[in-house]
Amino acid sequence: MDLKTIIATARGDAPADLLLTGARIINVFSGRIVQGSVAIKDGTIVGFGDHEAAEIVDLEGRYLAPGFIDAHVHIESSMACISEFARAVAPCGTTTVVADPHEIANVLGAAGIEYMLRSAEGQPMDCLFALPSCVPATDMETAGARLEAGDLGLFFDHPRIVALAEMMNYPGVIFGDADVLAKLDLARSRRRAMDGHAPGVGGSQLHAYTAAGIASDHECTRAEEALEKLELGMHIMVREGTCARNLEALFPVIGEHTWRRMMWCTDDRHPQDLLAHGHVDDIVRKAVAKGLDPVRAICMGTLNPADYFGIADAGAIAPGRKANLVVFSNLADIRAEIVFHRGRCVAEKGEMHPTVQRPEAVNVPPSMNLDASLLDFSIPAEGGRMRVIRAIADQVVTRCEIKEVKTENGLAVADVANDVIKMAVVDRYTGEARTGKAFVAGLGLKKGAIASSVAHDSHNIIVAGTDDTDMRAAVAAVVEMKGGFAVTCDSKTLATLPLPVAGLMSDQPVATVRQRMDAAIAAAGELGCRLSDPFMTLGFLALPVIPDLKLTDQGLVDVTRFEIVPLFV
């Protein structure tokens, strides 16, 4: 951007590149909607009213709003690389995201962050990042990397870095862990926002958490919790994703004195939801349908996150701001008809504009170091009763149940009749293939096995099945694809979803990912699983920071006690 040219065009002494006329302009500063024209030069808004311009587009009375901003998203959860993610959300009116590359950082460390930064170049949207603060999430699992404050410090000067991402280790903050405080000090010294993650934390512990300078939270599930955090000065990101949907519960908190400190985020949205419902626009529509003033709903998805993250050149329609804009016809049902990114039309009528080129793919480092043929899933029976993970449909929490052990030839085996099958988590990083083994109830498999390399947060390979042979075949299929989902039965592979980018993402369009995912879910259904998304449920059975009982490659984790416990009791 040539500042001198921008100023001259704003004065009216030089022609604009583009003039949008006949617009009903949504001003997120005043809350007013004003009829007028918007002039754009070099991708920047330069003013309003009559301007000489190389191109004039008449919006014919349609609304013109700032492009939407997702305040917190894990792109990896879309299971698509950045290029394909952008092509899925830009037609929805999303022109900026603040992404937390926590998942790929747990797999590849600094190399994963570098991959995401390089992949963000040349996209039809602005992809900004918050640096992952908790890699690994715990020491009770084998992760692909460890990122200390010094590792993160190498990235803070990058222009796409706007924050320190969700500080999930809230006990480390509250009790003054030196490594955690070093990361907070680093972000503070670079004047970056520090995002929070403190589900259910309140009282004096929340006071300690906010005293550290952590300024936001996207984990609120109750109105009372959100209000307490707002009254301590925190910003609330209202999450409406695939795994967690909090708009309904938090909507009563959006009031006259609170709405300017609240914003929208998707956190994790899977391909099905992206294609069927949209992105930030979906949250805006839901909020308006519940009675929120449409201009405020738009502001919560534009100016509010821009102000919070200090993104001074986005989030509003004003001179000096990027011409990231969305055009729509109905305030009561906001659906993007035209989307501009830096003054260029990138999407129209729900489709990417044909002139938008896909940037050249960035090479991703290998992330799979495992020989599946060496795996042994047998479990010697060391008692008559055992801990079993109870999976709960559409939930990331589990329960711990004590059940009788079914044995054959001295080995503990699946008890299909009682919906208890074997599961394992296999270290995919060290080459040692350390394997945690246990049993799970609630998946419903009658035969065969399912496996995935998406297993939060360390993303080792997780597998569940009715017999060891199919479990080995499923893991072998995942390894051969360099990551992904697999369904096997009678040693045959029934369905796969390849995710070769760090075992987390595909380089194919989101629609293709959805088709392959639907096929894998259907194949699991043919084996008896009745869960709407068995792979999502499976992936969270390895997350040792969400209660009650989880499995890592190091063994069963009692999350309530935060320690590894034996299988047999």
Nearest-CA neighbor of 491 among 517, 464, 521, 468? 468
Nearest-CA neighbor of 501 among 73, 94, 75? 75
Burial annotation 387-425 (CB, 10 A radius, 16+ → b, else e): bbbbbeeeebebebbebebbeeeeebbbbbeebbbbbbb
Q: What is the DSSP letter of 379?
A: -
Overall fold of domain 68-310: TIM Barrel (3.20.20)
Helices (H), 407-495: 468-480
Threshold 0.85, pTM exceeds: yes
- DSSP characters over 172-238: HHHTT-HHHHHHHHHHHHTT-EEEE--TT--HHHHHHHHHTT--EES---SHHHHHHHHHTT-EEEE
In this structure, the strands spanning 351-352 and 344-348 are: antiparallel
Distances (CA, A) of 100 to 106, 266, 460: 11, 12, 19
In the prediction, which pLDDT does 37 show?
98
Residue 12, helix vs strand vs coil: coil
Q: Where are the domains of the chain?
A: 3-61, 68-310, 372-564
In the prediction, which pLDDT does 313 show?
97
Cα of 123 vs its chain's centroid, Å: 18
In the prediction, which pLDDT does 191 show?
96
In the prediction, which pLDDT does 562 show?
87
How many CB atoms are located within 10 Å of the residue 533 CB?
18
Instruction: Using 70 as the pLDDT threshold, list the residues of the chain that sit under it.
Output: none
Q: Which residues pair with 370 in a beta bridge?
A: none
In the prediction, which pLDDT does 297 show?
98
Structure tokens at 115: 């991959």
Q: What is the DSSP letter of 240?
A: B
In the prediction, which pLDDT does 250 show?
97
CATH architecture of 3-61: Roll (2.30)
- CA 103, 107, 111: angle at the middle one, nearest 5? 100
Burial class for 163, CB neighbours closer than 10 Å (0-12, 13-18, 19+): buried
In the prediction, which pLDDT does 220 show?
95
